[in-house]
Each structure stands twice: as structure tokens, then as C-alpha cells.
């Protein structure tokens, strides 16, 4: 990131965290690419025995994928619905299913695919707070497998978004 010449009122340089930089508009395709990228990064971290980061990024991949579904349901020039906006500013994967239009879809999928329901059981309790936690090799492997399996959580989300 290029440094900005921003000075405080007393003439000292401000560190980067003291000012905001305009953010790029995030589009549905960006979120879809991020989901796939974060899963690949989780796999690389796992292979390098970095289980905490692997666990976190695998869950974050699901969050990005679900938010891509939310983006699909919005229109470019529509004024954002306040309730929808409040629902999507969360990291709770289960809560995100509703504004993404996936809550009922997942329930229907679970009725016919018990393995998918078990995979969701592994993934649903992920939280952004996991970045501050330690995770075992087994926990990291379980979430990566649940997310990245050919009939896993990302594959299911891809079908509908």
C-alpha cells in the first residue's frame, strides 16, 4: 500500500491505523474468488502445520461464499434495506444463511444428504474469534475437509450462488 502523507494537527506523521483509506467496492465475484483463495490458503497452512491459521481461513472461506450469495440478492442501484444490512454485518455463519437465501435450502439439502449436514455441524460453530484461539491438527483437518470436500459446504453454496 502506498504511504499517504498525512500529518496530525501537531505536525507529526500519523501511523496508517489513524486514517482511513477509501475501500474498493466488493462485488459478488470478488467474494467468490476470495472464498476459493482462502480455502487454498487454509490448505497450504495445514500442510505447513499452521493449524490455527488453517482453521480460521477455512471458516472465513465459508463466510465469503455465503456473503457472495447475499451480494447476488442485491441490486446495484437499490437503496439497501436496513434489516438486510443489519443481518449481513455478522460473522455468524448460521445467521448469514437467512439473508443469503440459503437457510431453507440447506435444510432441504440436509434431508437428502446426511454427510452434508455432518459437514455443516463442523463448520457452523466457526467464529471470527477463532483467529485468537488455538486449534488442533484434527480440528483444522475436519473444517478444511468439511469446507473443501467435493460434496462439501463450498460446493453446496456454489450450486445456489
- Per-residue pLDDT tens over the stretch 111-127: 999 999 999 999 999 99
Is the predicted pLDDT of residue 16 greater than 60, yes or no? Answer: no
In a domain, 45, yes or no: yes
Would you say 56 and 143 are in contact if contact means Cβ atoms under 8 Å apart? no
In a domain, 41, yes or no: yes
Q: What is the CATH number of the domain that holds 103?
A: 1.20.120
Q: Which residue has the cell 453454496?
A: 157
- pLDDT the model gives residue 140: 98
In a domain, 21, yes or no: no
Question: Domain total for the chain?
Answer: 1
User: Nearest-CA neighbor of 147 among 157, 137, 138?
Assistant: 157
Q: Provide the CB-side half-sphere exposure for 94 (13 A, CA).
A: 10
| Helices marked H in 113-150 | 114-123, 137-148
Would you say 161 and 100 are in contact if contact means Cβ atoms under 8 Å apart? yes
- Per-residue pLDDT tens over the stretch 68-86: 999 888 776 565 666 766 6
In a domain, 131, yes or no: yes
Domain that holds residue 53: 28-160
- Per-residue pLDDT tens over the stretch 34-69: 999 999 999 999 999 999 999 999 999 999 999 999
Amino acid at each position: 500500500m502506498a504511504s499517504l502523507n498525512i500529518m496530525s494537527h501537531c505536525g507529526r506523521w500519523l501511523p496508517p491505523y489513524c486514517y482511513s483509506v477509501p475501500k474498493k467496492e466488493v462485488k459478488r465475484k470478488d467474494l467468490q474468488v476470495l472464498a476459493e483463495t482462502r480455502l487454498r490458503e487454509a490448505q497450504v497452512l495445514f500442510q505447513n502445520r499452521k493449524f490455527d491459521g488453517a482453521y480460521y481461513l477455512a471458516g472465513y472461506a465459508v463466510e465469503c461464499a455465503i456473503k457472495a450469495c447475499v451480494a447476488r440478492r442485491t441490486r446495484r442501484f437499490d437503496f439497501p434495506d436496513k434489516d438486510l444490512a443489519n443481518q449481513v454485518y455478522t460473522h455468524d455463519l448460521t445467521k448469514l444463511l437467512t439473508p443469503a437465501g440459503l437457510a431453507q435450502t440447506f435444510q432441504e439439502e440436509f434431508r437428502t444428504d446426511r454427510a452434508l449436514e455432518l459437514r455443516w455441524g463442523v463448520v457452523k460453530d466457526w467464529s471470527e474469534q477463532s483467529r485468537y484461539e488455538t486449534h488442533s491438527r484434527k480440528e483444522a483437518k475436519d473444517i478444511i475437509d468439511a469446507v473443501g470436500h467435493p460434496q462439501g459446504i463450498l460446493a453446496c453454496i456454489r450450486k445456489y450462488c
